[in-house]
Amino acid sequence: MKPQEFKNFEAFKQILGKELPKGDWYTITQEMINDFANATLDKQWIHVDEDRAKKNHHLKVQ
């Protein structure tokens, strides 16, 4: 998908209320989540402890 580019803020505001372009889906892996947690120092259990997240989170974890 080609990125959307705008010459200025006024051009950007013209998309208000319009549908954004659709991109391809991709799978987020646990390794990607762990890498992000390490980079941001955000190591909350819900992100990095797969077993605990499966047992304790209200959303279905696959």
Could you please report the per-residue DSSP string of 23-60? Answer: ----PPPHHHHHHHHHHHT---HHHH-HHHHHHH-SS-
pLDDT at position 3 is 80
pLDDT at position 30 is 92
Per the structure, the complete domain to which residue 34 belongs is given by: 20-62
Residue 56 lies in a domain: yes
pLDDT at position 15 is 93
pLDDT at position 59 is 67
Residue 9 lies in a domain: no
Residue 7 lies in a domain: no
Global pTM value: 0.55
- Name the domain count of the chain: 1
Residue 12 lies in a domain: no
Per-residue pLDDT of the chain (62 residues), as tens digits, is: 678 899 999 999 999 999 988 888 989 999 999 999 999 999 998 888 989 888 887 766 55
